Amino acid sequence: MKNFLLSFALIGSAFSQTAQQKAEQDLLLAQKQLRSLEAEITSEERIIIREVEKIDDRVIEQHKTLTKLLRDEDNVTGKQRELDNELARRKGEFEFTLSSLRSYGSSIRNRIHPAEKQGFGEELEARRKKADSSGDDLVLEIQNRLALLHMAAERLVQVSGGERFEGSAVVAGNIIKEGRFATAGPLGYFASNDNEVTGFTSFSAEGVTFPTIAPIKEGSDQVVELVKTGSATVPVDASMGKAIQVARTKKTVGQYLQGGGVVGYGILGLGVVALLIALWKVIEIYRFPIPNRKKLNLILDDLLAHDAEAAQLKATEFRGLGGQMVEAGVTYFYDKRRILEDALLEKLGMIQPRLERFLPFLALVAAAAPMMGLLGTVLGIMKTFAMMSAGGAGDSKSFSAGISEALITTAMGLIVAIPVIIVHGMLKSLAKSKFGQAEGVALSMLNGTTELEEAPAPDDEVDDLDETDLVPA
């Protein structure tokens, strides 16, 4: 048994040595293969590294190229932006220049002297229309408008020292007269060929070629000499005849009244009547007799002393309705208080209408005068429109003159109404004040009865009186 175990051990030992040798051989082979593989990997890695380095070099080179191209692009973009800005500025300058030339061409006709519209103005208008008809050809339009500007500049040189030329003008009655003009700046003079019309040139209406002449009487010979010879001492009107026209449009009071027509005379008549009534009412109210309070106290003292005869005698010294009121107070002083109060109220009822009479008429005039003025204005406007329908609506001056004349009646109505309203209020206040004084007298008479110590014994006792007994015989 022991031998068997020994044999088995020897066999196992031999087998283990053989497996170890094989493993070592395999390890050596694997190491050899590993070294070979590492050498191969190293060789391939060198190749790859060289390729990567080449690629990196190309990337760096391409990046530099890209950076240069981006800088060039930025430079090109900046130059393009500058060119766009410059183009926009040039375009704005061109549009501004073209707009200025167009505006100048449109307004130059209104800047020249009115007398020049029939000569230089016509040529100027033809040049302007030619420039306007250039269409989309901006170069041609610029050329035409510069020619127009050159023409205007030459005209300034020509008229800088004054200018004389032949032409036509509109004189009184819308008559066109042939003659000669002499202009110097805004000043213009005209003399007809027959020397019948001389004066200042005025502004011409829109659409009218010929200027209007404001004729003058003094200095007409000098104007004729100026337009013929170019040298003379002439009157100067810096308003180009407007001052003369304004002076001629001023009317006198009589002309205004005449322009108001029948309605105007009616308003004026109402105003005169209202004025006379107002003056009369002032005199009447101021002179309306109101009993003197000092004398009234003396009468009351006599009545309180039961001296009726002396009181009656003093009461007769007062005049008018105020005196009648005091007499009524004396007569019924000793009667019942109600009878005295009715007698005084009756007299006060007669005083108030007297003080306020004709005041309603003044109020009526104050209300009617503006309405009459409006009526006159409506009639005047109707007349103006009727004239326009017959003669045409192109004459704005005639239309304005007609409206101005139609408004005269409205002005007259207000001129009458406003003072009448003021006077009516003053007179009403004055009448109220005067009536207040009369009420004070009546109240004094009425309050005096409270101081009676005893009433006198009348011959015939009166239980009551009828209202008819209060009326004096």
Q: pLDDT (tens digit, 9 = 90+) per residue, 276-327?
A: 998 998 888 888 888 777 777 777 777 777 777 777 777 777 787 777 787 7
Q: Is residue 461 very low, low, confident or very high in pLDDT (cuts 50, 70, 90)?
A: very low
Task: Report in angstroms the alpha-carbon separations of 264 from 269, 277, 383.
Answer: 9, 20, 15
Which residue has better confidence, 423 or 176? 423
Residue 22 lies in a domain: no
Q: Are residues 156 and 302 in the same domain?
A: no
**CA dihedral for 193, 197, 198, 201, sign (positive or negative):** negative
Helix (H, G, I), strand (E, B) or coil at 291: coil
| The predicted structure's pLDDT at residue 421 | 92
164-168, 363-367, 398-402: which is most confident: 363-367
Q: Report whether pLDDT(405) > 50.
A: yes
pLDDT per position as a tens digit, 125-164? 888 888 888 777 888 888 888 888 888 888 777 777 778 8
Q: Are residues 345 and 406 in the same domain?
A: yes
Count of residues for the chain? 473
7-11, 178-182, 198-202, 278-282: which is most confident: 278-282
Q: For the range 300-309, what are the long-range contacts, defined as Cβ-Cβ under 8 Å and sequence gap of 24 or more?
A: 300/444, 300/445, 300/448, 303/330, 303/333, 303/334, 303/448, 304/448, 304/451, 304/452, 304/453, 306/456, 308/333, 308/334, 308/456
Q: Are residues 348 and 283 in the same domain?
A: yes
pTM, two decimals, is 0.47
H helices present in 230-252, as ranges: 242-249
Question: 352 φ, ψ to 5°?
Answer: -60, -45
Q: Are residues 174 and 195 in the same domain?
A: yes
Q: Are residues 233 and 275 in the same domain?
A: no
Q: Are residues 208 and 273 in the same domain?
A: no
Average pLDDT of 370-374? 87
Local structure of residue 473 (DSSP, 8 states): -
Residue 65 lies in a domain: yes
Residue 20 lies in a domain: no
Out of 219, 244, 269, pick the residue that ends a domain: 244
Question: 391 φ, ψ to 5°?
Answer: -105, 0
Out of 61, 92, 110, pick the residue that ends a domain: 110
Q: Are residues 106 and 220 in the same domain?
A: no
Residue 304 lies in a domain: yes
Question: Poorest-confidence range of 183-187, 252-256, 429-433?
Answer: 252-256
DSSP bridge partners of 183? 163, 188
| The predicted structure's pLDDT at residue 399 | 57
Q: What does R_g of the chain's alpha carbons equal in angstroms?
A: 61
Residue 186 lies in a domain: yes
pLDDT per position as a tens digit, 73-129? 888 988 898 898 888 888 888 888 888 888 877 777 777 777 777 777 778 888 888
As a whole number, the mean pLDDT across the chain is: 77
Q: Are residues 301 and 234 in the same domain?
A: no
Q: Report whether pLDDT(364) > 50.
A: yes
Helix (H, G, I), strand (E, B) or coil at 440: helix
Average pLDDT of 333-346? 80
| The predicted structure's pLDDT at residue 418 | 92
Out of 88, 110, 132, pick the residue that ends a domain: 110
pLDDT per position as a tens digit, 213-249? 777 777 778 778 887 887 877 777 666 556 665 655 6
Percent of the chain whose pLDDT exceeds 70: 80
Average pLDDT of 381-392? 68
Q: Is residue 375 very low, low, confident or very high in pLDDT (cuts 50, 70, 90)?
A: confident
Structural domain total, the chain: 3
Structural domain boundaries, residue 465 = 258-470
Q: Are residues 298 and 443 in the same domain?
A: yes
| The predicted structure's pLDDT at residue 460 | 42
Residue 249 lies in a domain: no
Q: Are residues 359 and 291 in the same domain?
A: yes
Residue 2 lies in a domain: no
Residue 14 lies in a domain: no
Q: Are residues 269 and 368 in the same domain?
A: yes
Q: Are residues 100 and 128 in the same domain?
A: no
